[in-house]
A and B are shown apart, each in its own frame.
Chain A
């Protein structure tokens, strides 16, 4: 990105011909676009964190009372309030917290004293693993079905997967999770654990077993939506002239579908998938509750109920950062996938 800044040429060794102009010129609009986006997203980040401060401040119940315990005297409560610096104005606390964040200090939990960063580090990998595995599963199922359905629309595969997809999209997550529990974890058969989470490094196989049902629960509705989206984009792409061209050259259907049509058809899918990852990283609360998985969603909900402001703030910061980073990544992916975006932004 430094290539576009006026200081760009200064970065090249003195005396050497500046290599910057050519690529810089070609990528300039795209980079300017990214920079604009970056500024926009930074403002979003600030707004979200400040908003979370306000929301947390508005929550009824006094954190100092909660932390001091039921039998605390008013003096003790006051003492706790001063210790936690809750007596200071909102804006001061926000700026203070922001300063801490910039230096890498997220504070520590009001209730347990555990550093927020540590609490997040325990929970994020769990949610991350489930989210990513579920997304990969959904794409793995959706893409072949969508490609084939677009290739032969209206045939058996298309119609069958459309019908199943319609059903899957209308099924609430928690209902599907309950059905899976009845089928695989206690009802019809008990081949998988219904609740609990085993860390990957403790027991890889146990980890796999413990995430199968949550991932299936998360995956099903998304696979349905992805298939539908990619199928219709693909059908539009297949009517383009360059597909006709490829066909007239005598290329095989497989080559046309996978090498020519898939990439230009995948933009909506990538966007939606990215948005979903961002959303799910913010907490797969329902699945976490249903399967008793110690993920980020549960941490956030507990923090709200416990008035554990520091944990909540840290978690919300992570969610907002995830949203921003994923948005950036989607933009970059567009650049990588589509030369037109690179050119005219």
Chain B
């Protein structure tokens, strides 16, 4: 890992999301070479969450949707490792099935948002002028419209489903990706290889696809990775408000909200899903942060 020499303050400032905008420039010696142990721990945790979510139907788990009246508020037992919830459903099983919803929403929304925002941002950065102004307008309109109202309205109009939630979150993330991708495009647009391609007579779209896109993908992907964590939290918040994934399907936010009424008597119902969500987002942030440092974009000199 090379010590990074750029700072991305301009990019970071345009990212109104509660992610850590770490930029470890300076005299502080970078931990070069071997990654710290946390790096491996984070990957192991993420791997475990993803694998158990993917293979959930194959695992020997209780049915996450079936209430068991002997297990209402149940504690930790050999049968139910993480106890039962307010309806006696198995917590561990619901957490694992909830991971499917959370990860699906996070990953799909980011992929969609990054794809659309990335392309639009490259167009804005490469062509400038009117394209850029129009996109800046669109960006500001989306940012000035409260995201929650947008999601509520979308769900009300199109119906409450996983797909609609993903589309809504993706749309909300597009402005950020536009800005990020535009900034990355501006840094490479004047480089020699782009000018060479232009001198060859390449068409603009070909230049964007072949010359610019490979240089924009990495910073966008690194940021997108962190956005997965953000979206897991957002999905949790929406489910917490009763606006996310509709109830019979387990989701982390829904589970935390479900245990809220019994918070003082049976804290474990909320605690376990909250802890799993926390650790997952923490791992994503940590890995994403380390990765992102390498692809930071400097916009301030433009």
Contact = CB atoms under 8 A, between A and B. Distances in A.
B226 to A, nearest CB: 10
Given A55-B153, A304-B156, A153 B26 contact: yes
Interface string B134-164: 0011001101111011101100110000000
A205 B77 CA distance: 47
B282 A154 contact: no
For B18, B137, B237, the residue with the greatest tally of chain A CB atoms inside 10 Å of its CB is B18
B141 A319 contact: no
B27 A225 contact: no
B301 interface: no
Which size class do A's interface residues fall under? Answer: 35 or more
Contacts of B263: 178, 181-182, 187
Interface stretch (A69-77, A82-90, A226-234): A226-234
Contact of A178 (B237, B270, B285): B270
Interface in B260-294: 260, 263-264, 267, 270, 274, 277-278, 281-282, 285-286
B145 A48 contact: yes
A148 B233 CA distance: 31
B9 interface: yes
A235 B26 contact: yes
Contacts of B143: 323
Contacts of B152: 301, 304-305
B23 interface: yes
A239 B26 contact: yes
Contacts of A239: 26-27
A101 to B, nearest CB: 16
A268 B285 contact: no
A316 interface: yes
A61 B156 CA distance: 9
A169 to B, nearest CB: 5
Contacts of A312: 149
A153 B27 contact: yes
B2 interface: no
A267 B270 contact: no
B236 interface: yes
A174 interface: yes
A170 B274 contact: no
Contacts of B281: 170-172
B148 A283 contact: yes
Interface string B220-243: 000000000100010011001100
Nearest to A59: B156
For A174, A224, A312, the residue with the greatest tally of chain B CB atoms inside 10 Å of its CB is A174
B148 A272 contact: no
Contacts of A305: 152
Nearest to A172: B233
B136 A276 contact: no
B33 interface: no
Contacts of A221: 18
A1 to B, nearest CB: 21
Contact of B240 (A153, A166, A174, A233): A174
Contact of A232 (B21, B141, B240, B270): B21
Interface in A38-79: 40-41, 43-45, 47-48, 51-52, 55-56, 58-61
19 contacts: A48-B141, A58-B157, A153-B27, A165-B20, A169-B19, A172-B233, A178-B263, A222-B18, A228-B22, A229-B12, A233-B7, A236-B9, A268-B21, A272-B12, A282-B146, A282-B148, A286-B240, A301-B152, A301-B241
> Nearest 4 A-B pairs (CB), nearest first?
A232-B23, A235-B26, A170-B282, A323-B144
Interface of A: 40-41, 43-45, 47-48, 51-52, 55-56, 58-61, 150, 153-154, 165-167, 169-175, 178, 181-182, 186-187, 221-222, 224-225, 228-229, 232-233, 235-236, 238-239, 267-268, 271-272, 275-276, 279, 282-283, 285-286, 289, 297, 300-301, 304-305, 312, 316, 319-320, 323-324, 327
Interface of B: 7, 9-10, 12-14, 16, 18-29, 133, 136-137, 140-141, 143-146, 148-150, 152-153, 156-157, 229, 233, 236-237, 240-241, 253, 256-257, 260, 263-264, 267, 270, 274, 277-278, 281-282, 285-286
Given A41-B140, A170-B281, A187-B263, 19 more contacts: A40-B136, A44-B144, A153-B26, A153-B28, A169-B18, A170-B229, A170-B278, A171-B281, A172-B237, A174-B257, A178-B260, A232-B21, A232-B25, A233-B7, A235-B26, A239-B27, A268-B21, A319-B144, A327-B140
